[in-house]
Amino acid sequence: RPLRPSRCTKSGVVVVVVCGNEMDLLLAAPDYCPPSAAFFGMIGCSAALVFANLGAAYGTANSGVGIAACGVMKPEAIMKSIIPVVMAGILGIYGLIIAVIIGTKITGPTTYSSFQGYAHLAAGLAVGLSGLGAGLAIGIAGDAGVRATARQPKM
């Protein structure tokens, strides 16, 4: 198994190596906790928040255009057509939750490893870009669905 730092200290990293039932402590090089690790963690935190909210904004705006068109044809169907806007808004909340979780895990430069920084970057990008893609899909499908509901109330 590859070594992974479990705790960084000022002089290096304490690594716990598990072989069978024995646990060995090794003192590794201080390269595991560079000051740039926190930068990557913060970028992951920002990516989750920014991209998820961009998707939420696009989904809300595009669905809102469909709701406005629906309101012209059938004003009584506006409240039934608000579902895509709520779905898009939830994406922004998901991004905020992940950003808070990542942000609280980021500690000082002597205790935050490169592995954690890269993991938080990957997690933030995964959540943020997923939220962006979902927001685009909700916006397009929500607009089409709202317009179809205005034309055919049985939808």
| 89-121: pLDDT as tens digits | 999 999 999 999 999 998 877 778 888 899 999
Residue with tokens 């402590």: 25
133 pLDDT above the threshold of 60: yes
- pLDDT, one tens digit per residue, over 6-38 is 555 545 555 554 444 444 444 444 556 787 888
Contact predicate 120/106, CB 8 Å: yes
SS3 29: coil
Length of the chain counted residue by residue: 155
